[in-house]
């Protein structure tokens, strides 16, 4: 006799240091689909969660930036393999979140995966477009190399819950940064699903951390945090972005400003984001016997 199946509802938690803790505040908030259906209670991250995420990111930084670029590329490519395997899940998540048609959602997921693959392939090439040998006027060997900035706070684009997120996250980590992501506030589920993919991939714990919750609470904490080196305010509101940029001055954070809500994430991103959270180190050495 067939009974109507009671589905197992998913709990969406934070992703910090490779694990899925609940918010230490114990709070959660309701996420609805585009057409108003209840989707989930997601964790409402607190300032302490931000602190923990930053600490996890900082701890993960030495081995992620110290890995060979080839290794990072391999790790990121594997993430794309896993995303491909979960394509249908993400299509469903985007349909729920954005109310998109199946075709539109599928296009977004395909674009997101392809973009992830594109950035994976950049890992071992950035140094060749961003570095240089500099012909100084003297007997010195002089070269400039790009290095990752460090711990980056990323405010995910609001309204493009997967492709927008991938577009800001993948370039940052491909070059060796570690990230604390503040997910799309109204549509965080694709971000948390991405976190699950990361957790099952070879990406070391702490390299990417995902926090869900109101950006008005989370962004200022990140902005004022002196152990965060850079801030991508892509999805921040105008007021939050201005305040965050000013607060970020406390430790001279590298700021990438907000992007218009109607930004077309499908277009060719070029190399601007890839090179955004990069420091250039220039080394001199005499040439002599």
Partner 1 sequence: MHTVEGSRAPAVAPRYLEAAGLDAAALRSSETRLARFLAGLPGVDQVGCDARAAALATRSIKTTAKLHAIELAVSMIDLTTLEGADTEGKVRHLCAKGAHPEPLDEAVPPVAAVCVYPDLVAVARAALRGTTVKVASVATAFPSGRASIAVKLQDVRDAVEAGADEVDMVIDRGAFLEGRVGAVLEEVVAVKAACGSAHLKVILETGELGTYDNVRRAAWLAMLGGADFVKTSTGKVAPAATLPVALVLLEAVRDFDAVTGRAVGVKVAGGIRTSKDAIRYLVVVNETTGPAWLSPHRFRIGASGLLNDLLRQRRKQLTGAYAGHDDLSLE
Partner 2 sequence: MSALEDAPTSPERFEYAPAPESRAMLHLRSSYGLFIGGAFTDPIDGGALKTVSPSSEEVLAEVTLAGERDVDAAVTAARAAYEGGWGRLTGRQRAKYLFRIARLIQERSRELAVVETLDNGKPIRESRDVDVPLAAAHFFYYAGWADKLDHAGFGPAPRPLGVAGQVIPWNFPLLMAAWKLAPALAAGNTCVLKPAETTPLSALVLAEIIQQAELPAGAVNIVTGDGTTGAALVAHGGVDKVAFTGSTEVGRRIQETVAGTHKHLTLELGGKAANIVFADAALDQAVEGIVNGIFFNQGHVCCAGSRLLVEESVHETVVGLLKRRLSTLRLGDPMDKNTDIGAINSAEQLARIVALADSGEDEGAERWSPPCVLPERGWWFPPTVFTQVAPSLRIAREEIFGPVLSVLTFRTPDEAVERANNTTYGLSAGVWTEKGSRILAMADRLEAGVVWANTFNRFDPTSPFGGYKESGFGREGGRHGLAAYLDV
User: Which helix (H) or strand (E) segment is 240 a member of?
Assistant: helix 238-248
Q: Please state the closest distance from residue 61 (CB atom) to partner 2, in A.
A: 12
Q: How many residues bind partner 2 (CB under 8 A)?
A: 35
User: Closer to partner 1 at the Cβ: 260 or 289?
Assistant: 289
Give the Cα-Cα-Cα angle 119, 123, 127 (nearest 5 degrees).
125
Shorter beta-carbon distance to partner 1: residue 4 or 288:
288
Is position 132 an interface residue for partner 2 (rule: CB under 8 A)?
yes
136 binds, among partner 2, partner 1, none (CB under 5 to 8 A by kind): partner 2
SS3 33: coil
Indicate the burial class of 147 (C-beta count within 10 angstroms; 0-12, 13-18, 19 or more): middle
Shortest reach from residue 144's CB to partner 1, in Å: 20
Nearer to partner 1, 1 or 289 (CB): 289
* Site for partner 2 contains 136 (CB under 8 A): yes
Q: What is the spatial distance between Cα 68 and Cα 123, in angstroms, rounded to a whole number?
A: 9
Residues 244-273 within binding reach of partner 2 (CB under 8 A): 244-246, 248-252, 254-255, 270, 272
- CB 2 to partner 2: min, Å: 59
34 or 243: CB nearest partner 2:
243
Residues 125-141, buried b or exposed e (16+ Cβ, 10 A)? ebbeebbeeeeeeeeee
Q: Which two tokens stand for residue 213?
A: 């919750």
Tell me the closest approach of the beta carbon of residue 281 to partner 1, in angstroms: 21
200 binds, among partner 1, partner 2, none (CB under 5 to 8 A by kind): none
Which of partner 1, partner 2, none sits in contact with 252, Cβ below 5 to 8 A by type?
partner 2
Asked whether position 11 contacts partner 2 by CB under 8 A, the answer is no
Nearest CB to partner 1, comparing residues 118 and 140: 140
Q: Which residue has the tokens 């995303």?
A: 83
Helical H runs in 67-214?
69-85, 87-98, 102-122, 126-130, 163-174, 189-200
* Separate counts of helices (H) and strands (E) for the chain: 9, 10
Output phi, psi for 200, to 5 deg.
-95, 0
Residues that bind partner 2 (CB under 8 A): 129, 132, 134-138, 140, 142, 144, 229, 238, 241-246, 248-252, 254-255, 270, 272, 279-286
């Amino acid at each position: 006799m067939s009974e109507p199946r009671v589905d197992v509802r998913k709990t969406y938690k934070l992703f910090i240091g490779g694990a899925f803790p609940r918010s230490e505040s114990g709070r959660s908030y309701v996420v609805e689909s585009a057409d108003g259906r209840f989707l989930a209670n997601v964790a409402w991250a607190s300032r302490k969660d931000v602190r923990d995420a930053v600490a996890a990111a900082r701890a993960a930084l030495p081995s992620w930036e110290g890995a060979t670029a080839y290794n990072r590329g391999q790790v990121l490519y594997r993430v794309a393999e896993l995303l491909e395997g979960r394509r249908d899940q993400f299509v469903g998540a985007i349909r729920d979140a954005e109310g998109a048609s199946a075709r539109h959602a599928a296009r977004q997921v395909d674009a997101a995966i392809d973009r992830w693959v594109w950035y994976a392939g950049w890992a071992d090439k950035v140094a060749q477009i961003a570095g240089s040998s500099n012909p100084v006027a003297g007997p010195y060997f002089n070269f400039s190399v790009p290095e990752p900035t460090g711990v980056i706070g990323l405010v995910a684009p609001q309204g493009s819950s997967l492709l927008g997120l991938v577009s800001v996250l993948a370039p940052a980590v491909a070059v060796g940064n570690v990230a604390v992501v503040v997910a799309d506030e109204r549509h965080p589920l694709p971000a948390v699903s991405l976190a699950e993919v990361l957790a099952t991939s070879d990406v070391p714990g702490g390299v990417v951390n995902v926090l869900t919750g109101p950006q008005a609470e989370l962004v200022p904490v990140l902005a004022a945090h002196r152990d965060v080196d850079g801030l991508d305010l892509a999805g921040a509101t105008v007021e939050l972005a201005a305040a965050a940029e000013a607060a970020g001055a406390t430790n001279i954070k590298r700021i990438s400003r907000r992007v218009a809500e109607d930004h077309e994430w499908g277009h060719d991103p070029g190399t601007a984001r890839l090179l955004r959270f990069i420091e250039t180190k220039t080394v001199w050495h005499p040439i002599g016997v």
